[in-house]
Amino acid sequence: MKKLYLVAMIPLIFGLVCFAAYSVIGSSVAADGTLIEPFALIPIGWLLIFTSIIIAIGVLIYYFIKNKL
């Protein structure tokens, strides 16, 4: 059972790492006035967090179904 929780925790950890990396890298303005930032880390982080939530719900459903039978 603990392995199933680990499967749900891995995307959550990677999602939080994406947000931390975005915060650490930061953004800057180039000499020509364009904004340079790692914007792709934000949607990837949210995608990983929502994936983790969906997996956790699936694990809980599996756990309750297994214990009822």
Query: Could you tell me if 52 and 45 are in contact, meaning their C-beta atoms sit under 8 angstroms apart?
Result: no
Instruction: Determine the pLDDT at residue 69.
Output: 66
Q: Who's near 27: CB < 8 A, 6+ residues apart?
A: 35, 36, 37, 38
* Average pLDDT over every residue of 47-66: 93
pTM of the full structure: 0.84
Structure tokens at 44: 């990837």
How many alpha carbons lie under 13 Å from residue 68 in its C-beta half-sphere?
A: 6
Give pLDDT tens digits for 1-50.
Answer: 578 788 889 999 999 999 999 999 999 999 999 999 999 999 999 999 99
